[in-house]
Structure 1
Amino acid sequence: MYSGSMTTTPERLIEATRGLLWERGYVGTSPKAIQQRAGAGQGSMYHHFSGKPGLALAAIRRTADDMRATAERVLAGEGTDGTAYGRVAAYLRRERDVLRGCPVGRLSMDPEVIADDELRAPVDETLGWLRGRLAEVFQEGMDDGEFDPSLDPGRTAAAVVATVQGGYVLARSSGSTAAFESAVEGLLGLLDGWRRA
């Protein structure tokens, strides 16, 4: 049940759906489970949303927006030394609920989401945005002489995203955050080799 600032029925429905999608995936998230968690009736759900797909889309978009905002704060330099390496390191080491996995990345493994162009779009757009934003940070580091000019910003950004997403999989499969942390520190070691003294 929700209280406090999430008092409107649409807000409660979206937040309930976000949580259920992260925990159970699309197939495992039934309208009844959403209604129970949100404390809303069936009529309320269908009054505000066209059904489960419409509600799921609103929830996925909200989750994607939150992920972008969190990543942008760190990549823009908040709480870092301001260097490109420091910003990427802060992004990689930021606090995460590693054993739950990425709330956006996990959706890419959900066959129902992937089969639906509309549901898949915010997942693809968010991961694409993240690769692009990281590539910008690497390019800034190259422009400032921080990284070797032979570094490929786009490919390196893709490697960062793949390390994070793959790190979630390794951690979840082993039941330990150590696998995620090892992948992150390994990547940072490789990136350190591209830094100019």
Structure 2
Amino acid sequence: MYSDGMSTPERLVESTRELLWERGYVGTSPKAILERAGAGQGSMYHHFKGKPDLALTAIKRTAEELRATAERVLGGPGTPYERIEAYLLRERDVLRGCPIGRLTMDPDVIASDALRAPVDETIAWIRRRIAEIVEEGQRQGQFAPDLDGEEIGAAVLATVQGGYVLARASGSPAAFDTGVRGLLSLLARRTAVQER
């Protein structure tokens, strides 16, 4: 499953990331982590202080990876509208859900300031980044001046996270795609007003 050159701590972190995405914090036992990592008993406690420390490392890595993936699209080429569109349309494993959004439904993560912090920071970062792009579009005359960037950022996040939930509930990515198309249609109307 993992490359031969991957160290035990790396295998533990990667296993924890996968299990958190699949099962959440509560459903991720130290035994399951060790089995998935192919690590010996006690190795988790040799490299980490325990499950919370390992989970925090895994959540931080997932959050960093998610932000980097988003920035490649949001900071890429194209007009502000095209970059938001690219973010919404980028390839995702819709039926698997969001590895960060998944953690917001986990009571143990929400109850822990340390475990919740990278989740909150990532969500806030995406919202702010989209707000900046909307403001950039307003300066360029692409978006209507009365659009609120923070509200658009929140709407984009709500569409993506809600789309995951609807897709998983229906067993089809169609619900996600419909929500994305609806938001893009509304946003495109606000750009068309400016272009008349």
For structure 1, which segment, 86-95 or 33-42, has the greater mean C-alpha deviation from structure 2 after superposition?
33-42
Percent of residue pairs bearing the same amino acid type: 68
1:149-186 superposed Cα distances (whole Å, 9 cap, x missing partner): 11111111110011000000000000000000000000
What secondary structure does 1:194 align onto?
A: helix
Alignment match, 1:69:
68
Q: Contact 1:13 / 1:40 at 8 angstroms: preserved in 2?
A: yes
Alignment match, 2:34:
35
Q: Distance in 2 between matches of 1:34 and 1:4?
A: 18
Alignment match, 2:151:
155
1:186 to 2:185 alignment: no
1:108 to 2:107 alignment: no
Question: Aligned runs of 1:38-57 on 2, under 5 Å?
Answer: 38-57=37-56
Structure 2 residue identity aligned to 1:189: S
Question: Aligned runs of 1:7-18 on 2, under 5 Å?
Answer: 7-18=6-17
Structure 2 residue identity aligned to 1:3: S
What's the RMSD between the two structures over aligned residues?
A: 0.9
Question: Aligned runs of 1:81-96 on 2, under 5 Å?
Answer: 82-96=78-92
Taking structure 2 as the reference length, the TM-score comes to 0.96
Q: Distance in 1 between matches of 2:12 and 2:18?
A: 10
Q: Distance in 2 between matches of 1:189 and 1:58?
A: 39
Q: Which of structure 1's runs of 4+ aligned residues deviate more than 4 A?
A: none
Alignment match, 1:2:
2
Alignment match, 2:131:
135
1:60-107 superposed Cα distances (whole Å, 9 cap, x missing partner): 000000000000000002xx5x10000000000000000000000110
What secondary structure does 2:143 align onto?
A: coil
- Give 1:4 shift: 4.1
Q: Distance in 2 between matches of 1:115 and 1:36?
A: 27
Structure 2 residue identity aligned to 1:155: E
Taking structure 1 as the reference length, the TM-score comes to 0.96
Alignment match, 1:164:
160
- Give 1:42 shift: 2.4
1:174 to 2:173 alignment: no
- Give 1:27 shift: 0.8
May I ask how many residue pairs the two structures share in their alignment? 193
Structure 2 residue identity aligned to 1:103: P
1:144 to 2:143 alignment: no
Q: Contact 1:2 / 1:39 at 8 angstroms: preserved in 2?
A: no
